[in-house]
């Protein structure tokens, strides 16, 4: 090695990260620590300060917890804006997401203590319930973000979506060629497997990765069922068609799994974001009804 150290940028230390670090572990779990402190303070307050003798959303304990909770909700919602403000220098988004996750979970404790465990069929509990769903969907999101990226990479084996689709188109071309000498019924199912390739589609298909009417699977099934009826002259074409169909099946499985992982990493946002806005509405109603009605 060199006697001299590698030269780095002049002036102040470079603020850019130099190694990969998950948002969960950001800065040695800085925001997890914050969240734990926040929750601990809330619990202490809840247990020690009971101005009216019993837990209750009012009183200065209740108002404090409520105010902290409401401000947290607004701040957490602002993430949607922050995420898209690319031009402002507001630090790393990963730091913000780390805080978003841990403080969002802390919010659950703060708000639950704020309720004093009084629930009923009213707008107050509605706001609480919406908040719980938003937080729960967010926790699922964290789970998905931790679990699926690795599986997705392993499934892809360095191919891009475009390359996988291109491979399918290539196999289709080859299939048309090799299936040509076969009997009409087989040619028909192969042709269907070529023209009706299902990738993506309904939310359920995307999420489950199941495609019950898969024409490629049907063509394979057809060939399996009729394997004994092949004329000896066509045996080679039959085998090649079968192989190509299997190959296409494998690529399809890969691309469908890819779509599934992507869907699993995105689906929770369809709850998380709209319900956040519902939560804001219910929260507004809750505050107005408490203070002004």
Partner 1 sequence: MAADFKIAIVGSGPAGLSAAVHAVKLGVPHVLFERAQHLNDTIFKYQKRKHVMATPEVLPLRSDLDFREESREEIIDGWTRSVEEAKLNIRLGVEVTAIKGQKGDFALTLSTGETVSAEFVVLAIGVQGNLNRLRIPGNDLPFVQYQLDDPDEYTGEEIAVIGTGDAGLENALALAINNNVSIINRVADFPRAKAGNIALIEAAIKSGDIHHLANCEPKAIEAGFLVCDTADGAGVRLKVDRVIARIGALPPRRFVESCGVVFPNDSPTAYPPVSETYESQVPGLYIVGALAGYPLIKHCLNQGYEVVEYIQGNNIPPADEPLIQAKLDAAKVAMSVSELVAAVRERLPLFANLTALQVREFLIHSEIHHPAAGEIVFERGEFANSLYNILDGEVGIRVNPDDPNEMVRLRRSEFFGEMALISGRRRTSTVVATADSLLLEVDRNTMVKLVRSEPTIKAGIDKAAVVREIKTFLMPNVEDHVLADVVDSSTVFEFKPNEKLIEEDADDDSVYLIRKGSVTVSMRVGGKDVVLAYLPAGNYIGEMALVTHRHRAATVTAASATEAIRMDSAAFRALLDRDPELRRKVEEKLEQRMIERNLLSRNAEAGDLIGFLVRQGIGEATDVLLIDESLCVRCDNCEKACAETHHGVSRLNREAGPTFAMLHVPTSCRHCEDPHCMTDCPPDAIHRAPNGEVFITDQCIGCGNCERNCPYGVIQMAAVPQKKPGLLSWLFFGRGPGPGEDKSPEGLAHRTGGKHAVKCDMCKGIDGGPACVRACPTGAAIRVDPAGFIDVMRRGQ
- Which residues are at the interface with partner 1 (CB under 8 A)? 1-4, 6-11, 15-23, 26, 80-81, 83-87, 89-94, 96-97, 144-145, 148-150, 152-153, 156, 158, 160-161, 262, 265
State which residue, 46 or 261, has the beta carbon closest to partner 1: 261
Smallest gap, in angstroms, from Cβ of residue 156 to partner 1? 8
Smallest gap, in angstroms, from Cβ of residue 148 to partner 1? 8
State which residue, 144 or 198, has the beta carbon closest to partner 1: 144
State which residue, 51 or 80, has the beta carbon closest to partner 1: 80
Smallest gap, in angstroms, from Cβ of residue 144 to partner 1? 8
State which residue, 17 or 177, has the beta carbon closest to partner 1: 17
State which residue, 20 or 54, has the beta carbon closest to partner 1: 20
Smallest gap, in angstroms, from Cβ of residue 153 to partner 1? 4
State which residue, 124 or 256, has the beta carbon closest to partner 1: 256
The full 3-state SS of the chain, as one line of letters, equals CCCCCCCCCCCCCCCCCCCCCCHHHHHHHHHHHHHHHHHHHHHHHHHHCCCCCCCCCCHHHHHHHHHHHHHHHHHHHCHHHHHHCCCCCCCCHHHHHHHHHHHHHHHHHHHHHHHCCCCCCCHHHHHHHHHHHHHHHHHHHHHHHHHHHHHHHHHHCCCCHHHHHHHHHHHHHHHHHHHCCCCHHHHHHHHHHHHCCCCCCCHHHHHHCCCCCCHHHHHHHHHHHCHHHCCHHHHHHHHHHHHHHHHHHHHHHHHHHHHHHHHHHHCCHHHHHHHHHHHHHHHHHHHHHHHHC
Smallest gap, in angstroms, from Cβ of residue 3 to partner 1? 6
* Core vs surface per residue 170-184: b (16+ CB within 10 A) or e: ebbeebeebbeebee
State which residue, 160 or 289, has the beta carbon closest to partner 1: 160
Smallest gap, in angstroms, from Cβ of residue 24 to partner 1? 9
Smallest gap, in angstroms, from Cβ of residue 170 to partner 1? 18
């Amino acid at each position: 090695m060199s006697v001299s150290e590698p030269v780095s940028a002049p002036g102040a230390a470079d603020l850019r990260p130099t190694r990969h670090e998950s948002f969960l572990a950001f800065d040695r779990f800085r925001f997890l620590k914050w969240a734990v402190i926040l929750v601990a303070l809330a619990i202490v307050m809840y247990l020690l300060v009971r101005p009216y003798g019993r837990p209750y959303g009012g009183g200065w304990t209740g108002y404090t917890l409520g105010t902290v909770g409401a401000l947290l909700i607004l701040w957490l919602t602002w993430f949607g804006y922050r995420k898209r403000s690319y031009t402002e220098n507001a630090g790393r988004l990963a730091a913000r997401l780390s805080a978003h996750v841990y403080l969002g979970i802390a919010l659950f404790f703060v708000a639950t203590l704020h309720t004093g465990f009084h629930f009923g069929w009213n707008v107050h509990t509605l706001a609480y319930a919406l908040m719980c769903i938003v937080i729960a969907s967010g926790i699922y999101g964290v789970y998905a973000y931790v679990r699926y990226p690795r599986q997705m990479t392993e499934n892809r084996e360095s191919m891009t979506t475009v390359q996988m689709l291109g491979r399918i188109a290539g196999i289709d071309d080859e299939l048309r060629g090799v299936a040509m000498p076969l009997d009409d019924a087989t040619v028909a199912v192969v042709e269907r497997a070529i023209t009706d390739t299902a990738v993506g589609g309904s939310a359920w298909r995307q999420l489950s990765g199941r495609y019950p009417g898969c024409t490629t699977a049907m063509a394979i099934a057809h060939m399996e069922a009729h394997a004994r009826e092949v004329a000896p002259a066509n045996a080679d074409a039959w085998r090649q068609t079968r192989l190509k169909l299997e190959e296409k099946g494998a690529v399809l499985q890969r691309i469908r799994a890819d779509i599934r992982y992507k869907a699993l990493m995105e689906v929770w946002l369809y709850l998380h974001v709209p319900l956040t806005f519902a939560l804001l509405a219910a929260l507004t109603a809750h505050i107005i009804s408490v203070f002004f009605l």
